[in-house]
Amino acid sequence: MALSVFEGVVYHCHPVDLRNPCKPTLEVDARTQPGDLDAGPLLVTVADYARMVGDHARDCIPKLRDAGRITKWMGVDHISFPTWTPVDHPAL
């Protein structure tokens, strides 16, 4: 779950479902502005991903790299989330 996003980079996140750590899904529950979500894929650092999935990272990171999901941004490896679906939440 992405809790803060700025210009496509996720700064605070936590896992919601760890049943399939090698195929991560990113849900966004954050206040965003134009440019935060619409300029391309969302990026989560590999270090944050590894913290969230623990020992599974050893097996999953090579698979994500082979699938083209890992990219460099500002000299740091990030997992790219190129596809996502916006969800409308009912007003409270």
| pLDDT band, residue 92 (cuts 50/70/90) | low
pLDDT of residue 49: 94
Least confident of 12-21, 50-59, 81-90: 81-90
Residue 58 vs residue 88, higher pLDDT: 58
Structure tokens at 84: 């996502």
Task: State residue 84's pLDDT score.
Answer: 59
Q: What value does the mean pLDDT take over residues 49-71? A: 95
CB 11 within 8 A of CB 4: yes
Q: Render pLDDT for 5-31 as a digit per residue (tens, 0 to 9).
A: 888 899 888 888 889 999 888 888 888
Residue with tokens 């991560």: 24
Asked if residue 68 lies in contact with residue 41, where contact means CB atoms within 8 angstroms, the answer is no
Give the type of residue at 73: W
CB 26 within 8 A of CB 2: yes
* Residue ranges in 7-55 assigned as alpha helix (H): 46-53
Which residue bears the tokens 């989560």?
44
Pairing mode of beta strands 70-73, 76-81: antiparallel
Q: What is the pTM of this model?
A: 0.81
- Residue 72, pLDDT score: 96
Radius of gyration of the chain (CA): 13
